[in-house]
Chains A and B, each alone.
Chain A
Amino acid sequence: MLLDISLQTDPGTISDDPVMEARRQIEICNACRYCEGFCSVFPAITRDKVFADGDITQLANLCHNCRGCYYACQYTAPHEFDLNLPRALATARVESWERLAWPQAPARLFQRHATPVALMLVVSLALLFWLISALPGGGDGFYAWLSHGAMVAIFTPAFLLPLVSIGVSLRRYWVETGGGAVTGKAMAQAIRDAGRLRNLSGGQGQGCNFEKAERFSDARRHAHQAVMYGFLLCFAATASGTVLHYVFDAPAPYGFWSMPKLLGVPGGLLLVAGCAFMLVLRRKADPALGAPGRSGGESAFIWLLGLTGLTGLILYALRGSDATGIALAIHLGTVLALFLLLPFSKMAHGFYRFAALVRDAGDR
């Protein structure tokens, strides 16, 4: 096949367009290749000589923003090549999330700004307070405040519709990046890479350069592991409750030695600790190496995620007391906001990132 060299850009032509600028920088990286051992992005770059728009989207979503390449780079400003690959890829990445979202408008709003996220939380909380006060309860534990039927009626669409939206986006992603059939092997590799956050390891386990500039640290990897596994445990707790309810005819409330609590309590603790840790790290990190104009939306999302865990733990702590109703409204309102924002907030990155890892594992 003939190489389409017309895709190549001039290294000196800095662009405001996120895809063009990422392409310019990636081409310089491909002519250098010193960073090959840091993460999956650089070996993926060396597999190509020119980069179509879909290639840029794939590389941008494969990048975990560990920043190792920035501090190692001989071409960062004031050099005229002005490389800042973490920022260029982050910019192309958030732009791809907003472009591929279905619908796009809420993604542009919630990815960028904190206030709409907070407003969404307020509206969700108000809705839950109103529902709890307006609808009759029906059952034990928190079902005394809001019946199981009402919860199912609210949360089934609130969970499934965002998933449909994400599904549409992932399909768009796969088409844009030219992904082929997914193999079990690629899927297994992607699960291993995501599960261990291999791309935040610095290539040799020394970690990334997020909060300590050129010094390596595993702090962000640990914080992210806590958030990710905390969230997955909480999700598993809810799922196990659903199974207990429908399969084993064992409705809530559950004691401490039950699956929902054994998964949910450590999950909630991990989620809260991870989000707090992540927010602390973000304050120390250099914003010039992340996506411009998304810091507010990202931080608000981490707060929302952490609050989901925290309000769940509070609800458990206050079980059986008079405050259960209030705690329930707050927790369910937070969860509702989180679910509704799933395709339009930083939460979406998990889906795109996983798709990029699957795609990369298939290409290797």
Chain B
Amino acid sequence: MNDAQALAKESWDIVIAGGGNAALCAAIEAAEAGAKVLILEGAPKAYRGGNSRHTRNFRCMHHGALGPLVESYDEQEFWADLLRVTKGETDEDLARHTIRTSAECLPWMQAHGVRFQPSLAGTLSLDRTNAFFLGGGKALVNAYYLTAEDLGVRVLYDAQVTHVAMEGRRATHVEATIGDTPLRFATRAVILASGGFQSDIDWLARAWGPSARNFLIRGTPYNRGVVLKDMLDQGAQSVGDPTQCHAVAIDGRAPKFDGGIATRLDCVPFSVVVNRDGERFYDEGEDTWPKRYAIWGRLVAAQPDQVGFSIIDSRSIDLFMPSVYPPITADTLEELAERMELPADRLIATIEAFNAACRPGEFHPQDLDGLATEGLEPPKTNWARPITEPPFYGYILRPGVTFTYLGLKVDRTARAAGPDGPYDNIWSAGEMMAGSILGQGYLAGFGMTIGTVFGRIAGQEAAAHVA
């Protein structure tokens, strides 16, 4: 009998579906309260931790310096930031609860093995709002697994939860496939923290449309929404737009899954972006890149073949963080068009029209310099400098999906609800319920805040239930 079969014979206080930040926070809280906890992580050990593996920081309210955070970031400002990105698609009560609780989470994280570091090079704008993990999200995940294991939490990898069996409002056991073996785990409480469905490309294509098949998935290939679908099929109450995902523009040569941060591309504001037909389609200089990279995912998704081409000249190559993929390089625009498989005449016409619309003025790459085109549609409203100095460089843009919005509806105690109201013994945390708070857009580091706050709550509540 192997480990999984032995564990399936035991009876558990709490079984947790998922093995990322929220699941681990829940496991640690529950184990510290004395519960006997089993984590069923769908990924193999090397890929454990879901999208948390790819994260780098934690957005946190604070008054005065806290850990690596400087100055203050109060509830009102945090809430205003959230309101701005979600355009009101949020639950104020849950959101404010998350914001308020975030402050006490940072010391809790440190006490459970997470280490923070000063803001990374090139991210100084976040040193007041976001606490960066030393080594990134995988280091955080490692620290939590060690802490959880030291507390007696058991973990099974390659353990895809397939079904939460219920009697009325009560979960009775969890069915999972461990490797190839289907097993049942009897439990008194269930915490669901297994993320969204963005890695199930078929589901994504049904929700978004067939063009979604050309999207890249920035995170784990293991967030296939299996548990989410099982719960929705059983009538669980949902939140979040089922057709929407959060996508940013990333390097089009990135891996289909798991490309993470390194596939980021920061050249757009200094470039001209054309589609497959060599046509511009949006103002590349509308705002600084940190404020615009998210909308470019959708912009590129709306273009033919879901692809964009960002073109700069040699004067701009040193203005942005290096991309992991070398640019496509050529001494003439014609040659560049050929290498990027663009119609050369169209590309040259577009660049010439752009160059002709540029006006003299001061170019300031770090600020909105107001150096705008004149009489061009669409305009470029900042950093509009003619593309004339060879060599010319091109980068390919594709939409990179970060997460989906559809999730389980929870209350302040992280309890999920079925058709007849709250379940007796099912809680949910992390990306799987984040749509309650983040109904649209994204705020850097806020996914980890939701996961930590609601993971801890779910762990505490479930432990209290089984105590």
- The residues of A with any CB-CB pair to B shorter than 8 Å are 2-3, 5-6, 8-11, 27-28, 30-38, 43, 46, 49-50, 68-69, 71-81, 203-204, 206, 214-215
Cα A74 to Cα B263 with chains together (Å): 13
* Chain A residues with CB under 8 A of B137: 34, 74
- The answer to whether B262 and A11 touch across the interface, beta carbons within 8 angstroms, is yes
Contacts of B456 in A (CB 8 A): none
Q: Which residues of A contact B264 (CB under 8 A)?
A: 31
When the two chains form their complex, are residues A78 and B142 in contact, meaning their CB atoms are under 8 A apart? no
Asked if A49 and B136 make an inter-chain contact with CB atoms under 8 angstroms apart, the answer reads no
CB-based contact B121/A36 at 8 Å: yes
**23 A-B contacts (beta carbon < 8 Å):** A3-B318, A6-B329, A10-B326, A11-B324, A30-B322, A31-B264, A31-B321, A31-B323, A32-B261, A33-B120, A33-B121, A36-B121, A37-B115, A38-B135, A50-B322, A68-B135, A71-B138, A72-B134, A73-B138, A75-B262, A81-B262, A214-B142, A215-B146
Among B299-326, those with CB < 8 Å from A are 314, 317-318, 321-326
B121 (CB) vs chain A CBs: closest residue: A46
Bound together, the chains give a CA A77 to CA B46 distance in angstroms of 8
CA distance A69 to B318 in the complex (A): 27
Asked if B326 contacts A34 (CB within 8 A), the reply is no
Q: Are B54's CB and A74's CB within 8 A?
A: yes
Q: Which partner residue on chain B sits nearest A33 by CB separation?
A: B120
B280 in the interface, Cβ–Cβ < 8 Å?
Answer: no
Within 8 Å of chain A (Cβ to Cβ): is B117?
Answer: yes
B56 at the interface (CB under 8 A from A): yes
CA distance A46 to B46 in the complex (A): 27
- Closest 4 pairs (CB-CB, A-B): A34-B136, A72-B135, A37-B117, A72-B139
Q: CA of A46 to CA of B119 in the docked complex: distance in angstroms?
A: 13
In angstroms, how far is the closest chain A Cβ from the Cβ of B396? 13
Q: Known contacts A27-B324, A31-B324, A33-B120; decide if A214 and B260 are in contact (CB<8 Å).
A: no
Interchain CB contact under 8 A, B255 and A74: no
* Contacts across chains A and B counted by CB atoms under 8 Å: 107
Residue-wise interface mask of B (130-144) relative to A, using a CB-CB cutoff of 8 A (1 in contact, 0 not): 000111111100100
Which B residues touch A37, using CB under 8 A? 115, 117-118, 134-135
> Given A5-B317, A11-B325, A34-B135, A75 and B260 touching (CB < 8 A)?
yes
Cβ of B393 within 8 Å of any chain A Cβ, yes or no, is: yes
Additional A-B contact list (12), CB under 8 Å, known A3-B318, A34-B135, A79-B258: A8-B326, A32-B262, A33-B122, A34-B133, A37-B115, A37-B135, A38-B135, A49-B318, A50-B322, A77-B46, A80-B255, A206-B115
Task: Report the separation of the CA atoms of residues A3 and B329 in the bound assembly, to the nearest whole angstrom.
Answer: 13
Q: Contact at A35–B135, with CB atoms within 8 Å?
A: yes
Rounded to whole angstroms, the CA-CA distance of A38 and B122 in the bound complex is 17
B34 beta carbon closer than 8 Å to chain A: no
| Least distance between A225 CB and chain B CB atoms (Å) | 22
Q: Does residue B53 face the partner (Cβ distance < 8 Å to A)? A: yes
Which of chain A's residues have a CB closer than 8 A to the CB of B260? 32, 74-75
Q: Contact at A72–B136, with CB atoms within 8 Å?
A: yes
Q: What are the residues of chain B within 8 A of A76 when measuring CB–CB?
A: 46
Assess whether B445 is interfacial by the CB under 8 Å rule. no
Separation in Å of the A339 CB from the closest CB of chain B?
41
Q: Which of A31, A35, A215 contacts B262 (CB 8 A)?
A: A31
Task: Give the Cβ gap from A198 to chain B, nearest Cβ, in Å.
Answer: 15
Whether B422 sits at the interface, judged by CB under 8 Å, is: no
Chain B neighbourhood of A28, CB < 8 A: 262, 324
Residues of A with C-beta under 8 A to B321: 31
- Closest-by-CB residue of B relative to A6 is B329
Query: What residues of chain A lie closer than 8 Å to B142, measured between beta carbons?
Result: 71-72, 214
Q: Which A residues are CB-close (under 8 A) to B117? A: 36-37, 203
- Say if the beta carbon of B441 comes within 8 Å of chain A: no
Give every chain B residue within 8 A of A11 (Cβ-Cβ). 262, 324-325
- Chain A residue numbers with a CB within 8 Å of B152 are none
Chain B contacts with A in 103-130, Cβ cutoff 8 A = 115, 117-118, 120-122
Determine whether the beta carbon of A203 is less than 8 Å from that of B326. Answer: no
Bound together, the chains give a CA A50 to CA B317 distance in angstroms of 12
B135: nearest residue on chain A (CB-CB)?
Answer: A72
Task: Verify A31–B326 contact, CB threshold 8 A.
Answer: no
Q: B258's closest neighbor in chain A, by CB? A: A79
CB contacts (< 8 Å) of A6 on chain B: these are 329
Shortest Cβ distance from A214 into B: residue: B142
Closest Cβ–Cβ distance, residue A19 to chain B (whole Å): 17
Cα distance A214–B53 in the bound complex, in angstroms: 14
Measured CA separation A133–B56 after assembly (Å): 68
In chain B, what residue has the closest Cβ to A1?
B318
Question: Given the known A-B contacts A33-B122, A72-B138, A206-B115, are A5 and B261 also in contact in the complex, defined by CB atoms under 8 Å?
Answer: no
Whether a CB of chain A sits under 8 angstroms from the CB of B370 is: no
**Taking each of A31, A38, A74, A79, which has the highest tally of chain B beta carbons within 10 Å of its own beta carbon?**
A74
A36-B117, A79-B258 are contacts. A5–B139 as well, Cβ < 8 Å?
A: no
How distant is the Cα of A3 from the Cα of B326 in the complex, in angstroms?
A: 12
Closest A residue by C-beta to B329: A5
